[in-house]
Chains A and B, each alone.
Chain A
Amino acid sequence: MNERVKKLRQESLNTQPYISIQRASLVTEAYKKYEGTVSIPVLRALAFEHLMENKNICIGEGELIVGERGELPQATPTFPELCCHSLEDLELINNRKKISFKVNQEIKEIQKEKIIPYWKNRSIRSRIFKEMTPEWKECYTAGIFTEFMEQRAPGHTVADDKIYYKGFSNFIQDIEKSIQNIDYLNDFEAYDKQEELKAMLICAKAIIRFAERYAEKALEMAEGEKNPRRKKELKKIAEVCLYVPAHPPRNFWEALQMYWFVHIGVIGELNTWDSFNPGRLDQHLYPFYKKGLEEETLTWEKAKELLECFWIKFNNQPAPPKVGVTLAESGTYTDFANINTGGLKVDGSDGVNDLTYLILDVIDEMRLLQPSTNIQLSKKSPDRFLKRAGEIIRKGWGQPSVFNAEEVIEEMLRQGKSLEDARCGGTSGCVETGAFGKESYILTGYFNLVKVLEITLNNGIDPQTGKKIGMESGELIQFNSFKELLAAFKRQLHYFIDIKIRGNNIIERLYAIHIPAPFLSIIISDCIEKGKDYNAGGARYNTDYIQGVGIGTITDSLSAIKYHVFDQKNINMKKLKEVLKNNFVGHEEVRQLFLNKTPRYGNDDDYADDIMKLVFNAFYKEVNGRKNTKGGVYRINMLPTTCHIYFGSVVGATPDGRREEQPLSEGISPVQGADRLGPTAVIKSAAKMDQVKTGGTLLNQKFTPQLLEGEKGIDSLAHLIKAYFKLGGHHIQFNVISADTLRAAQKEPEKYRNLIVRVAGYSDYFNNLSKTLQDEIISRTEHQSC
């Protein structure tokens, strides 16, 4: 990277995130001025306009791509209409050791005087908790499920290519046409449509105005600029901002700036889950890149510099501060922008192009938390593509992750999307499949499969609190077969999913009515045509997800019961209950039996893997196809983010040998340490899940750097990935282990039973090595990863 990029990157990394109160103040002002005099969509639009007209304009030294969500890099606004932080919240956010945001005294004053009095009872968070039933609240408190929408707005969508051939002046024409088409005589939603479209018009004009303000600022700065080179750049910035987003971009620079204004618009309008992202960036930018090179108005170096400046912009916008359960489930600055590379083109041909490789170079150099990146690997992808990605993966900072393009497309086709829309889609957030630019694919909450089992084992009672929160599905000691137990689990599952969805139905309407998103609606098909908001079902496809967590833990737990209670009769139900109740204290021999003498998921053993399939299918059947409020349906995902840790903390000891409060298994990975036959067996087990039925699964694999050394290491990695994808895997990512992890493994070998290290010409389980050899490998790893 060049000096400019180096400096901007360093600034981004060195700045401590802090709370900015500007947005909250401006939105509150607008609400106070207009609320009650206009419709709610128009009110939201006027608040957006007020923000775009008055928020701080910042052009950092050396910047080429401009625009921040807050007034400066790392300045993080709050969204009181969603979650109105109390003074205690702010204190906590300031003081907490991890994921802290600095809050100064002035901000606390404004929060106290202006923000809290207005929003305390109006925020969507307080409305949600007011509307939820006691049953829902009990489940939420017990950790049966989480609720995504209680602090952040529905988002979970990604831009497609339309903003590269349409400017906002074109969108304005589309909106006006749609207004003209309203049938006031026969369409009884005419007024709603009119107000929504009016709101979109205000937002479209506001984003153009926002860019003009950047142009004005750039010109003003150019006036006073002494350095002729920078003066020229500032004038160029002004030229770009006067053209986009009003008009479709003409070149590479304008294309990037176009997207970035849209990005700032989306994440300024609301704090949407998964911060929004450009999606298939190499596809969208390639025509501009190619044209620039052909016409000699762009060079490879200039394109790289612009991309790197663009990358830094993402890293400057941490996810706004979360509190409570949402913090526990997703405690990170990462805002889950996840850029896709490769995949297929709309005509089904290979999407990898020269720009794809340039983007991979940028990923390699930038090493930033945000944006996250992935490759969409298809059968048509050239070998060089996976190889280049492999070189970055083995450096061990977790990017890019790898997706199976064909599988992702098949998932969308199964859900009824058109072939073209499916091919232009991809994955975002962590691993979520979506038809980019055309779908609202909302994650509504994580669902604790293991907790449901715990409640089944206790006939509806949560043993952590003694409260009855489930239904009576039968006393454990009365079950005569595994089948009966499974049937009881299914009844509980049904009961809890009903509660979750009843809640969702209300929450979705709260958003549809009170928090429409007219700006986001402009760029997602077919909101303009339908005259409907993104949050009310305006998108072409409207999918709701419930994400299952703990499949490994629940599989091994059920396997232990089936094997030791019903098959081998090593232990009876009464004893099992007692052992679990005592958290295995005084029953270490039983725990060892469960841990070591049970068929477990992740070893390509059908005994356990068939149980995984039973649980997966039960969850799938319970959720898949249920209708949502937006004219779409529910689907399932199998991903945890970091929720498996929170969910584990609310579950007592489980029959897989897990002690109380320990984390659950993560994604569709086996229980930590349960897989003992290496990565090929894990892949075989994981692939037995019919992943096409999901909208995303997450599989983590851990390796040490030595294992991925040289050409051969990269080849092995490629073979492993391709074999998994051939079997129908959706996603795989690799953690390359650090020396610290190895040290932790030395201290707690039980937790790291599956950790494989490269020893000499061969690999072995770390646990199998003597302390001396372990030490040697630790020092070697330390040496190599620095």
Chain B
Amino acid sequence: MIGKKLTTEEVIKEIEKDLVFYKESGGGVTFSGGEPLGQSEFLEGLLSGCRKKKIHTAVDTSGYISWEILNKISPKVDLFLYDLKLMDNERHKKYTGEFNELILENLKKLSSIHNNILVRFPVIPGINDDYQNIKEIGKFLSSLKITQVSLLPYHYIGIDKYRRLGMTYRLAGIQSPSEERLSEISVILSKFNLNVKLRG
């Protein structure tokens, strides 16, 4: 689908082709990006279309978006996949280019109006896998109502794509986290009464 313009109807038609598989596996559609909420009106149309056809929807978001949009779209979404990377505001700014206040605020509000949020924590060695950050995440999430926390181990598969696109890959040299480290993180987060899942 790279580089193709489609109308809402066309996308719905494409989604519907796989109806039999959603039914068989209990699956559905995931809207991801970039940032799908960046095209919120288009997304809203698609979500409404899916709801009409009783297709399960998930929206994968960074949370860096205005609350109005999130609030408006929330009733039409079955599941949110919400990324959470760093609790420290300065470090967040350093690695992502933006502060995290809006992201944290949105998650807080969203969890009070939506009951199926899966928080995704990409574990990047040396950047956000330190005890401090993990503890902060645990503390923050334990005060909210969320369904699950998923640990996504960092991988460097993207290197090739960056190379193909002639872009510099700025995380070069970072390895995937070890299985031991992942299970340690899982243990720490579980202590905050969170439902933690590896790669889930």
Question: Chain B interface: which size bin?
Answer: 10 to 19
Tell me the complex Cα distance, A106–B20, Å. 62
Given contacts A760-B157, A773-B157, contact A723 B163 (CB under 8 A): no
Instruction: List chain A residues, Cβ under 8 A from B21.
Output: 680, 719-720, 723
The reply to whether B25 and A719 form a contact with Cβ atoms under 8 Å apart is: yes
Interface flag for B130 (CB, 8 Å): no
Cβ of A680 and Cβ of B18 under 8 Å apart?
A: yes
A761 beta carbon closer than 8 Å to chain B: yes
Residues of B within 8 A of A759 (CB): 157
Partner of B20, one of A715, A723, A761: A723
Does B10 belong to the interface (CB within 8 Å)? no
* Complex contacts, B153 vs chain A, CB 8 Å: 761
Contact A604:B17 (CB < 8 A) given known A722-B24, A726-B24? yes
B152 within 8 A of A: yes
Would you call B191 an interface residue if the criterion is a C-beta within 8 Å of the partner chain's C-beta atoms? no
Select one of A684, A716, A770 contacting B163, CB under 8 A. Answer: A770
B20→A727 contact, CB < 8 A: yes
In the complex, which residue of chain A has the Cβ closest to the Cβ of B200? Answer: A712
A715, B152: Cα distance in complex, Å? 21
A774 to chain B, nearest CB (A): 10
Q: Which residues of B contact A (CB under 8 A)?
A: 17-18, 20-21, 23-25, 27, 152-153, 155, 157, 160, 163, 199
Cβ of A769 < 8 Å from any Cβ of B?
A: yes
- Bound Cα distance A769, B163 (Å): 12
Interface string of A649-685 (1 = CB under 8 A from B): 0000000000000000000000000000000110010
Most interface-central of B21, B27, B155, B199 (chain A CB within 10 A): B21
In the assembled complex, how far is the CB of residue B166 from the closest CB belonging to chain A, in whole angstroms?
A: 14
CB neighbours of A772 from chain B (8 A):
160
Name the distance in Å between B15's Cβ and chain A's nearest Cβ: 12
Residue-wise, chain A 717-740 has the 8 Å CB interface mask toward B (1 for contact) of 001101100110000000000000
6 contacts between A and B (CB under 8 A): A680-B21, A719-B21, A723-B21, A761-B155, A769-B160, A773-B157
Beta-carbon contact of A770 and B160 below 8 Å: yes
Q: Which partner residue on chain A sits nearest B18 by CB separation?
A: A680
Q: Is the CB of B199 within 8 A of A761?
A: yes
Q: Cα distance A720–B21 when bound, in Å?
A: 7
A769 to B153, CA, bound (A): 20
Q: Report B-chain residues with C-beta under 8 Å of the C-beta of A727.
A: 20
Set of chain B residues within 8 Å of A722, measured between Cβ atoms: 24
Whether A761 contacts B24 by the Cβ 8 Å rule is no
**Residue contact B25 to A684, C-beta cutoff 8 Å:** no
Question: How far, in Å, is B58 (CB) from chain A's closest CB?
Answer: 15
* Chain A CB within 10 A, most for which of B20, B160, B163: B20
In the bound complex, CA of A766 to CA of B17 (Å): 24
Q: Give, as a whole number of angstroms, the nearest-CB distance from A213 to chain B.
A: 55
Q: For B155, give the chain A residue with the smallest CB separation.
A: A760
Q: For the complex, what is the distance from the CA of A759 to the CA of B153, rounded to whole Å?
A: 13
* Per-residue contact bits, chain A 748-779, to B (CB 8 Å; 1 contact, 0 not): 00000000000111000000011011000000
Closest chain-A Cβ to B3's Cβ sits at a distance in Å of 15
Q: Are B17 and A723 in contact (CB under 8 A)?
A: no
Distance (whole angstroms) from the CB of B25 to the closest CB of chain A: 4
In the assembled complex, the CB of A466 is this many whole angstroms from the nearest CB of chain B, namely: 45
Nearest A residue (CB) for B163? A770
In the bound complex, CA of A769 to CA of B25 (Å): 28
